[in-house]
A and B are shown apart, each in its own frame.
Chain A
Amino acid sequence: MKFRCERDALTEALSVAGRAVGSSSGSLGLSGIQATLTGDRLELTGSDLDLTISAQIQVSGQSDGRIVIPAKLAESIVKSLPPGAVSCSAEDDELLISSGRSEFSIRLISANEFPTLAEADDQFIELPADALVDAFRQVVTAASGDDSRPVLTGVYASNEDGGLRLVATDSYRLAMRDIPGAAEVLGSASSALIPSRALSELNRLLKRGDSVRMHMGESEARFEVPGARLSTRLLEGTFPNYRGLIPDHHPNVLTIERTALLEALKRVSLLAKDNTPVRLQMSADGLQLAAIAQDVGSAQEIVEGTYDGTDLTIAFNPQFLREGLEVAPGDHITLNTIDELKPALLRSPVAEDFLYLLMPVRVS
C-alpha cells in the first residue's frame, strides 16, 4: 500500500475512525485502525465490536492494500507533522510515514487481528440531517452512562403514529422527542434500542444540509453520511414503560425565559457542588433560585417569570436541570410541577414535539 495526501485530511479521518477504538479493549486488533486503499479512495475503520466508524478520504494512491495500524500512535504522529503533504507506504510489517524531513517507521498490527466487518448492501432510508441533529442531541443527554443497567444507556426509537419517537432516561430524568413522518427509519421493526454513544458519535459526523442514509436491522443499525459510515450493535432488553411516568396534569406552571434561567442557574450552581441541589422557590412573585452548601456558603438569584399555582419549593440536581434547559427549543420554557417530590415537566410552548421530565432532589 502506498499513497500521498494532505496532513489535515488524514488527521481528521484518523480521529473520526479512532473514536470507535476502545480505550482498554483486550484484543490487539481492536486497538488498531484498519486502512484500506482502493485506487484513490482510502477508508479508515475503527471498531470496538459494538460500534464501528469508517472515514473515507480522497488520496493520491499508488498501490492498493489493506493494513492495520496502531490507532493512537498513528494519530499522534500525523497530527504532529508540519502542514502539507504526507507520504505513507507499507512494506512487510512496517508503515513508513514521511513528511518534509520527518520520517517515522511504525510496526503494523497483523491484519488478521482486526475483526471482519460485514459489508452492507442494505436498503437505506434517506433523511435530511437537519431533522436529526437536534433530536439526537436532545435525547442523548438524558441517557445513562452506567453500564450496570444497559437498557438505560440506549435511546429507545419507536413508531408513534407514523412518526419516529426517541426516548432516553437514566431514571432521574427523561427526554423525549418526536420526529413527524420518520417512522419508516425503523423498517419492519416497531422499535429499536440504539446505544446513546453511537448516536452522539453520529451527531459529530452530521452536518446541516447533508443527508443521512439509515438502515435498521435486527441486531444492528447503520448510518452513512458523506465521507463516513457508522454501524452499531443494537441493545437488547425491554425499555421501561416511560408513558406511565409522565403525569397527565400539573397544577403549577412556571413560564420563564430560557437563557435567563440558564444563566442564573449556572451562577447559583457555583455554590452547588457535589450533592448540593439547587432550590427553586416559586410563588406569584416569580422564581427565586437558591443553593446552600453547608461548609461553603450560599447563593440566590431572582429570575423574572410568571407563575400560576400554589407556592412551591422544589430542588433539583443542577446538572440535570441545566442539561434540560440547554436542549429545550425556543426562547421560553414552561416548568410544570405537582409537588416537591413528583416529576417536573420541562417543555417549550412553541415545540410540542419535545419534553424533558425531571425528578426532584428530596431536601429537608
Chain B
Amino acid sequence: MRPFTYERAADAASAVKSAAGTPNAKFIAGGTNLLDLMKLEIEHPAHLIDVGRLPLADIEETPEGGLRIGAMATNSHVAADARVRARYPVLTQAIVSGGSGQLRNKATTGGNLLQRTRCAYFYDTTKPCNKRAPGSGCGALEGLNRNSAIFGASHACIATHPSDMAVALTALGATVETLSPSGRARAFPILELHRLPGETPDVETHLIPGELITAVVVPPPPTGGQVYRKVRDRASYAGGLVSVAVAGGNLALGAVAHKPWRATDAEAALKAGASPAEAIGRELEAASENGRNGFKIDLISRLVPAAIAEAREQGRGA
C-alpha cells in the first residue's frame, strides 16, 4: 500500500469540502473494496476521508411511502430491516446473494454502488486495462472474457459492474441523493449514476469530484411480485455470471454491463403483451459477445422468463 494521510470527517459538509480541496482524495466507509484495491496498488489515494461514522446510517419512511436508506447503512442492516424484507424483498435477496457475512457487515450502501469491477485484467497490474491505466488497451477484448459485458460495452472496455444490490435498486427505480462540495444537495435516478465505458472507462460515474452519496431512496413498492435470481460458479460467495431483478413490471440485469442494466426493451415488450421469452429476446437483440461470454446470452434468455414467472406467481398469491 502506498502512503496516504487519513482524517475522520466531522460531518458531511466538511467531508465534501476536504475531498474537493485535497488532491487525489477518496472517501472511505466500509473500505472492503477500496482497501483490497489499495493493497494491490490499483487504487492509490493520497488522502482518505473516513465518512463511515457520519450519521447517515438510518433507514426511514418517506412521505411518499418509500424508504430513504442512508448511505452508511451497512448491507447487513439494509437486508435485515423488517420494512425492506416485507416491502422490498428483491433488495434483501440481492444483498444477501453478494459477498460474505463478514463483508456485508462492513460494506455500506453508498460504497456498494461505487465498488469497482472484478474484471481480471483490471486486477492484474501486469496486463493492459484502460480502466486502470487509460490508453494501455483492453486485455479482456480478446482474452479471458467469460465474465465480460454483453450490453453497452465499447472497444475500450468490456468490464461489468459487480454489485447485486444495485441491480435490485435499479429494478425498484431508486433515486440517489448526494451532497456536492459547493453544499448543493441533488437527487437523480440510479440509472444516471453509472456511465457506460465509451472511450473513458476509468470514469465510472456521473458524480463530480468530491460529491458524496448521502442516501438511496426507493419509491413505494411496485404492484406485483419481486424476485432476485443470480447464477454463478459457486453456490455462495461468488460474483454473478448473470443476475436478474424483477420488481412488478420492472426488470434489471446484473453482471452483463458496465452498470446495472435496466431492460427497458423487455419491459416495453411485456407491457405490449409479449411473453417473457419474447420480451427478453427483444432485449437480447442488442447483446454482443466477445468469444467466451456468449453463454450469458443463453443464460439470460432462460433465467429471465423463469424469474418473471416466479414473480407473477408471487403476485397472484399476494
- The answer to whether A and B interact is no
Q: Using a CB–CB distance below 8 Å, which chain A residues touch chain B?
A: none
